[in-house]
Structure 1
């Protein structure tokens, strides 16, 4: 089953259960997917290019980052009820993402990528990151992995 279909199925269940938070979040996800599909169509009439699961995961990851930033901003401003709402949306969105690697698994993946790519210095960081993105797309936050890779290559 495609990820898009799982989201649509969850949307129907949320409607039946009258779960307002989940329903609203799933509608936002669906709207973002539809926006991407329309953008992919471009100027060509009738050209159907379905959105892939990888593109949906990219949308979901972006939505998670946006909500994490909003949560921090709301907490700093003392708006805890809004921060809780954003956090609830993050949890719903994360339910459609693949399981994230643990810290030990990330460290092992980084070491394996360094070994497999033959990286010896900081100049080889692009090779290592490319290999990590190819092997572990959607399963790790590359903004936090990048400093760890840099540290391993420098030392």
Structure 2
């Protein structure tokens, strides 16, 4: 079952359970996927859906932080609930050791030797670990390895 089919099935379940927050989160993903499909005139696969979910989770984390800073705990709690709902559709996250091993093997594989190779390394890792690792952490790790 594709990720898009899983989302549609979860949408039906959320409707039946009258879970408004989960339903809203799923609908936002499906709408963003449909929009991307129309805008780019592509057929959607699981990688595209995962990228959309990652983007929406990141947006909600930013909103959560802003709401918390502004003292709007009610809205922050809603964002946190939506983040939890969306994260159930993301693949299992990589451990720190797995991320470090992936960075190390990619650097070796590409023969990267300095910061000028950062973009190449980041591109390869992003395709392998999208939605499974925090790209900011990966970027910092790559910089550390390439400058050492």
Normalising by the smaller structure, the TM-score range is over 0.9
The alignment partner of 1:89 has SS state of: helix
RCO greater where, 1 or 2, for CA within 8 Å and sep 6 or more? 2
Q: Give the alignment of 1:63-74 within 5 angstroms.
A: 63-74=56-67
Runs of 4 or more consecutive aligned structure 1 residues displaced over 6 Å after TM superposition: none
Structure 2: gaps (5+ residues): none
Deviation at 1:76, TM superposition (A): 0.5
Matched, 1:101 2:94: yes
Measured on the aligned residues, the alpha-carbon RMSD in Å equals 1.4
How does the TM-score come out when normalised to structure 2?
Answer: 0.92
1:29 paired residue number: 29
Q: Would the aligned equivalents of 2:22 and 2:82 in 1 still touch at CA under 8 Å?
A: yes
Q: Would the aligned equivalents of 2:51 and 2:130 in 1 still touch at CA under 8 Å?
A: no
The correspondence for 2:137, drawn from 116, 119, 144, is: 144
Q: Would the aligned equivalents of 1:117 and 1:131 in 2 still touch at CA under 8 Å?
A: no
The structure with the larger Rg is 1
1:19 paired residue number: 19
Q: Would the aligned equivalents of 2:29 and 2:53 in 1 still touch at CA under 8 Å?
A: yes
